[in-house]
Amino acid sequence: MELTTLEHNVTFMLINLGYAVLSLFVSVIALIIIDKIIFKDIDFIQEIKKGNIAVAIFQSVILLFIGVVVSSAMS
């Protein structure tokens, strides 16, 4: 049975959705590991609530770095 173009597009879209969900889980697990093991003495959420902009920027850079690593690993 031959697949049509629409069926190909739907199949590729579902595969990409699966990769996106998998990369989301890997990113969350990596963030938890970094937060709990590497920086166990620092409470990032409390520091951000106190208005520490440097911690907010650092946390954002960690999220961007995890995203780059996971996206390069998935491709």
User: How confident is the model over 17-40, as a mean pLDDT?
Assistant: 84
19: containing domain: 5-74
Residue 67's nearest CA partner among 31, 16, 34 is: 31
Examine the pLDDT at 1 and tell me if it is beyond 60: no
pTM of the model: 0.63
From the centroid of its chain, how far is CA 20? 9
Q: So what's the pLDDT on residue 54?
A: 94
Q: Across residues 14-38, what is the average pLDDT?
A: 85
- C-alpha 40: how far from its chain's center? 20
Q: What is the pLDDT of residues 33-72, one digit of tens each?
A: 888 888 888 888 898 999 999 999 988 888 888 878 777 7
Tally of structural domains, the chain: 1
